[in-house]
Amino acid sequence: MPPSITCALAPSFVHTSASPDATFTFASGTSPVTVSLSTGTYRMWLAPSATCYLRALAAAITTALTTARAATYTCIASLSASGVVTLRIVSAAGLPTGVTIAAPMWQLVGYASATPTIDTGSGLVDIAGSLPVWHLATFVERVSADWQQRTAVASAETAGGIGYGVTSGITRWQDELTFGFIPRDPTFGTSLGVSQTPWEPDAAYLTALGTVGARAYSVSDLLSTAMGKTCAFAAGNFQALRTSTGERYHLVTIPGRECGAPRLARLRAGWDAYRRWTTALIRQSTPTGTRA
């Protein structure tokens, strides 16, 4: 059994609607039905419902199908323990028999192609991903120094040892973390039987960091796009956050120096399978959030 994913980093990203983003076909009645997700800034799963990419997409599908077919439809997004999405459409009316999803959405949500397979059940259909979603880097091991208080000061001491100075009056909180057991690349991840995000993409994509494609997301992709962006950070509670809207994540930034020159090492000298990444994370003025 692979180790359980415990932590995750979800940077904000911009979605530009393809108008439509998805097209559903039906065997009878109104068909096709198009769905568009509003252009905007989102995060993957670790975000409130309005800015969670997957739940906002599910809400857009619910509205479009219900309106176009004059029947009640509900689309529910769920995320597996390894970060793979399933969109479930439930209705007592006719269910879709096919779907076409525009790029880059189908790659972002981890489908194998623009026309993913629809699995039919009683009163429902499931559209399951093949790869973990993009913009969600997952980890199994975290060693943390814990949140440390930092305040900018200019100070000195008198000859008698009395301290004096000025302070900015602003306190920030910073953690120094090391994430371990990061597979070197997707090929190593598959051979090791693990599901956490690899450090880098396979060799064919090393010059395309941050460019969405039909491939596994990597920590290197995250670092190529995360500078200056707010990230949600699941600090050991990723599995609880998958289903809870009350569980809290941290809101952080990754300092630019960490994005530009990552502190990376092999987990063990001479062993190429796993990497260890050390980085600082800085809490934002709004330090935490929930998925509510």
Q: Is residue 151 included in any domain, yes or no?
A: no
What are the pLDDT digits (tens) for 143-200? 998 999 888 778 788 888 888 788 777 788 999 999 999 999 999 999 999 999 999 9
Domain membership of residue 249 (yes or no) is yes
Q: How far apart are CA 278 and CA 269, in angstroms?
A: 16
* Total domains in the fold of the chain: 2
Residues 6+ apart with CB under 8 A from 204: none
In a domain, 20, yes or no: yes
- For tokens 């693990």, what's the residue? 194
At 128 the pLDDT is: 98
Pair (282, 193) in one structural domain: yes
- Average of pLDDT values for 191-212? 96
pLDDT in the model for residue 164: 79
Does residue 106 have a pLDDT over 80?
yes
> Residues 202, 278: one domain?
yes
Q: What's the Cα-to-Cα distance from 21 to each of 4, 128, 291, rounded to whole Å? A: 33, 17, 24
The span from the CA of 34 to the CA of 23, in Å, is 4
Domain end position, chosen among 60, 94, 128: 128
Does 25 have pLDDT greater than 90? yes
Q: For the whole prediction, is pTM greater than 0.85?
A: yes
My answer on whether 64 and 115 are in the same domain is: yes
> Three-state SS for 278?
strand
215 and 281 both lie in a single domain: yes
How far apart are the two ends of the chain, measured CA to CA in Å? 32
In whole numbers, what is the pLDDT of the chain averaged over residues? 95
- Judge if 83 and 193 occupy the same domain: no
Closest CA to 82 of 140, 13, 144, 142: 140
Six-digit token pair at 244?
A: 């809870």
> What pLDDT is stored for residue 151 in this prediction?
80
Q: Are 118 and 226 in the same domain?
A: no
Mean pLDDT computed over 48-56: 98
Answer with the residue of higher pLDDT: 2 or 91. 91
Residue 161 falls inside a structural domain: no
* pLDDT at 238 (0 to 100): 98
> 221-248 b/e with 16+ CB inside 10 Å = b?
bbbebbeebbbbbbbeebeebbeeeebb
Q: Are residues 53 and 107 in the same domain?
A: yes
Nearest-angstrom CA–CA distance, 253 and 43: 14
User: In the chain, what percentage of residues exceed pLDDT 70?
Assistant: 100
Per-residue pLDDT for 276 more than 80? yes
- State whether 69 and 12 are in the same domain: yes
What CA–CA distance (Å, rounded) separates 120 from 60? 21
Instruction: Please give the pLDDT value at position 153.
Output: 77
* Domain match, 204 and 281 both: yes
Domain extent at residue 247:
137-144+171-290
Nearest to 248 by CA among 47, 55, 82: 47
Same domain, 113 and 17: yes
The torsion defined by the Cα of 174, 201, 239 and 266, in degrees rounded to 10, comes to -60
Residue at 54 is within a domain: yes
Are residues 123 and 20 both part of a single domain?
Answer: yes
* pLDDT value at residue 97: 97
Asked whether residue 76 is domain-assigned, the answer is yes
Task: State residue 176's pLDDT score.
Answer: 96
Are 111 and 14 in the same domain?
Answer: yes
Query: 66 phi and psi, to 5 degrees?
Result: -65, -45
56-77 mean pLDDT: 98
pLDDT band at 11 (very low <50, low <70, confident <90, very high): very high
What's the gap between Cα 139 and its chain centre?
12
In the predicted model, what is the mean pLDDT of residues 204-230? 97
What is the layout of strands, in order, in the sheet containing 22-25?
Answer: 33-35, 22-25, 98-101
Report if residue 166 sits inside a domain.
no
Whether 164 maps to a domain, the answer reads no
Whole-number pLDDT of residue 155: 79
